[in-house]
Amino acid sequence: MKKVISLCVLINLGCNFLHAQLAPKYSNEFLAVGVGARNAGMGDAIISNINDVTSGYWNPAGLVDIKDNVQVSLMHNEQFAGIGKHDYGAASLKLNDISTIALSVIRYGVDDIPNTLNLIQNGQIDYSRITNFSTVDWGFIGSYATRTKIEGLKIGANVKVIRRVVGEFANSWGFGLDVGAQYKLKDWMFGLMVRDVTSTFNVWSFTFTPEQKQVLLASQNELPHNTLELTVPKIIFGVSRKWMFFNNKFSVLPAIDFDYSTDGQRNVAIHSKYFNLDPKIGIELGYANIVFLRGGMNNFQQEKDITGKVSTAFTPVVGVGLKLNNLSIDYALSNAGGVAATPYSNIISLRLNINKKG
């Protein structure tokens, strides 16, 4: 029976937090990974300065600053040595001078997971009964943004539909809302994003045969039950400023964001039982609006060595970008796991601007 424990643990991963609905830490965490190589290269410190189609994910208010009629973006990223595959696609449409809409699709999947629940039949081990399954998370985000009558203020909102599937064993549907704003005061840019503003609801259902239930119980795993998972709100605020030098050929854009979460104590830079404050720092250097170098720091954590000494660790990220007329190509080297033992992943994204002729 010990051989079946590996799969049982995988299936039970999603169940451990489903019963902690008062403080469901790390719920829908695949939506917190981030999208876009440009943004990853800046350490995700882009809430105040994001102004392309990826704004639909980061801060929908930034969609208003898109000058193109249509903008399309694609991203591919493999994490944890290729185990997790993270894909993203989005398109925006400029309705008029003051409003823009967008649709974003996110997929995070782990494939070829061994299903060992049927490994033993009539007391005998039969390896031919091992099959594979995938666990896939989907996020569909519809965005709308507009300028307000207050000079420099833009606002936006997201409607999210979430679909999560764990092979034939479990699945859920979820719904949620985000709201965001950006405000420009002279050369300073400020941003505010509230994710899951009304809390996001995921309704889970589980399907196991009687034999599979026996295996779960025999391997000391709790039987999952149909339940409701809640994702509590998170507030992100940031500030940035762009400086131009040498006849506007060179640009410097430093930025800092703070994630404010209230779903229980986390290991972040500033933490307590009641709230957590997680900073993200980034910078972008540009030349002629064609070539860009980027760097950042995020995932600040308190680490304790073998002597008991506590120190602050963080994850450094770097990236580059190239803009060729209507095509932008961005690359970032980032560590989604945030620890030294986790392999860095290569993030590549493309962005295409499409405009009407004449």
Token pair in block for residue 206: 């589980």
Q: Under a CB-based contact definition with an 8 Å cutoff, are residues 294 and 42 in contact?
A: yes
Dihedrals phi, psi of 40, to nearest 5 degrees: -65, -40
pLDDT of residue 97: 92
The pTM score is 0.84
Residue 299: pLDDT band by 50, 70, 90 thresholds? confident
What pLDDT is recorded for position 127?
78
The Cα 304–Cα 298 span in angstroms is 18
Angle between helices 210-218 and 5-12 (to 10 degrees): 100
Q: What are the distances in angstroms from CA 325 to CA 16, 67, 68, 89, 353?
A: 49, 14, 12, 20, 9
Residues in the chain: 358
Question: Could you tell me which of 240, 216, 183 has the C-alpha nearest to residue 39?
Answer: 240
With a pLDDT cut of 70, the percent of the chain lying above it is 89
CB 31 within 8 A of CB 242: no
Contact 51/68 with Cβ under 8 angstroms? no
46, 253 in Cβ contact below 8 A? no
The CA-atom distances, in angstroms, between 162 and each of 43, 99, 110, 176, 229 are 25, 25, 17, 8, 12
- What are the φ/ψ torsions at residue 79 (nearest 5 degrees)? -115, 160
* Residue 23 neighbours by CB distance under 10 Å: 14
pLDDT beyond 70 at 22: no
Residue 231 tokens, joined: 């994702």
CA pair distance 283, 296, nearest whole angstrom? 6
Q: List CB contacts of 159: < 8 A, sequence separation 6 or more.
A: 141, 142, 143, 175, 177
Write the single-letter amino acid at 42: M
44-58, 160-174, 195-209, 284-298: the lowest-pLDDT one: 195-209
CA pair distance 260, 319, nearest whole angstrom: 26
224: pLDDT strictly greater than 90: no
Classify residue 68 by its DSSP letter. S
What's the one-letter identity of residue 105? V
- pLDDT, tens only, 45-104: 999 999 999 999 999 999 999 999 999 999 998 887 778 899 999 999 999 999 999 999
pLDDT of residue 358: 57
Strand-pair partners of 190: 183, 239
Cβ–Cβ under 8 Å, residues 111 and 85: yes
Cα(9)–Cα(116) distance, integer angstroms: 11
- Average pLDDT, integer, range 179-183: 98
User: pLDDT class for 338, splitting at 50, 70, 90?
Assistant: low
236 within 8 A of 265, measured Cβ to Cβ: no
2-354: CATH homologous superfamily?
Answer: Outer membrane protein transport protein (OMPP1/FadL/TodX) (2.40.160.60)
Confidence label for 335 from pLDDT (cuts 50, 70 and 90)? confident
pLDDT in tens, 227-268: 888 888 899 999 999 999 999 999 999 999 999 987 777 777
The stretch 102-111 carries a mean pLDDT of 94
Res. 26 pLDDT band, cuts 50 70 90: low
